[in-house]
């Protein structure tokens, strides 16, 4: 007993509170039951909402899956190769020749060369005609002088009315007439020469133009794979 008194007695824990009346317990149980009921209702509502969201989400997925074939179908229509349009027929020979710049330049060059050739011939003819007219004038003057001298000669001898005078006048007139004729023949020959030269030049140009046209048509065949 003395040892026990030398030590302090352990402190005892406080006594628990008295239990609530049974009525209150029943009320709390009812409250919990009511709370659990509400909790169950909330849980049911959550599950219903989740199911609705999943159903909505699933519907969206089905809508996406439904739209995918339509996109693929439309894409396949776009990707499907379409037969290319038929190429336009090549232009005809005349149309191509009118549009071929090389051929047209050649034709222009030939036309200019021909114009230059004809201009040169025109100058030559002008020069020749000038000389021709001068020669005719000189022949005419010489003829007049010759006839005047013949007349004076026969007049001095008193033979103007003789047949001999008439014969000499005839001979003199024929002589100068022949000079005029020769002069005219020379001019005619010159003009014929110009005409022949021009014809030969045109024939040469026609050959060149034909060659140029054949070259142009070969270019057309190569361009359009004919």
Q: What is the pLDDT of residues 135-161, one digit of tens each?
A: 999 999 999 999 999 999 999 999 989
Residue 51 has pLDDT above 50, yes or no: no
* Tokens, residue 129: 């005609």
pLDDT at residue 89, rounded to an integer: 87
| Per-residue pLDDT band at 134 (split at 50, 70, 90) | very high
DSSP structure class, residue 9 = P
Topology of domain 93-223 in CATH is: Helix Hairpins (1.10.287)
Residues 157 and 172: their CA atoms lie apart, in Å, by: 18
Contact between residue 194 and residue 125 where contact means Cβ atoms under 8 Å apart: yes
Query: Residues 6 or more apart from 118 whose CB is under 8 A from it?
Result: 198
DSSP 7: S
Round to whole Å and give the CA distance between 188 and 203. Answer: 22
The pTM is what? Answer: 0.57
Joined together, the tokens standing for residue 209 give: 């133009």
Question: For residue range 203-215, what is the model confidence (pLDDT) as tens digits?
Answer: 999 999 999 999 9
Whether the pLDDT of residue 223 is over 70: the answer is yes
Cα distance between residue 158 and residue 172, in whole Å? 19
Location of structure tokens 């038929």: 86
Dihedrals phi, psi of 9, to nearest 5 degrees: -70, 140
Render pLDDT for 14-42 as a digit per residue (tens, 0 to 9).
555 555 555 544 444 444 444 444 444 44
Q: How far apart are CA 107 and CA 101, in angstroms?
A: 10
Instruction: Report the C-alpha gap between 209 and 176 in whole angstroms.
Output: 49
pLDDT digits (tens, 9 = 90+) for 76-95: 566 677 777 887 888 999 99
């Amino acid at each position: 007993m003395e040892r026990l008194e030398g030590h302090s007695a352990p402190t005892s824990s406080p006594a628990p509170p008295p239990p609530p009346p049974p009525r209150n317990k029943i009320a709390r149980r009812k409250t919990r039951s009511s709370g659990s009921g509400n909790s169950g209702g909330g849980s049911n509502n959550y599950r219903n909402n989740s199911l609705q969201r999943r159903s909505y989400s699933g519907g969206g997925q089905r809508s996406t899956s439904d739209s995918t074939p339509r996109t693929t179908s439309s894409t396949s229509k776009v990707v499907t190769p379409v037969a290319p349009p038929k190429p336009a027929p090549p232009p005809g020979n005349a149309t191509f020749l009118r549009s071929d710049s090389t051929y047209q330049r050649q034709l222009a060059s030939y036309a200019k060369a021909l114009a230059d050739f004809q201009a040169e011939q025109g100058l030559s003819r002008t020069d020749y005609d000038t000389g021709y007219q001068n020669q005719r004038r000189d022949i005419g003057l010489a003829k007049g002088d010759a006839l005047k001298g013949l007349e004076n000669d026969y007049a001095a001898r008193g033979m103007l009315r003789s047949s001999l005078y008439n014969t000499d006048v005839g001979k003199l007139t024929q002589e100068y007439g022949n000079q005029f004729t020769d002069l005219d023949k020379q001019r005619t020959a010159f003009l014929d020469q110009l005409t022949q030269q021009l014809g030969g030049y045109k024939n040469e140009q026609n050959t060149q133009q034909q060659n140029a046209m054949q070259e142009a048509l070969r270019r057309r065949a190569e361009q359009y794979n004919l």
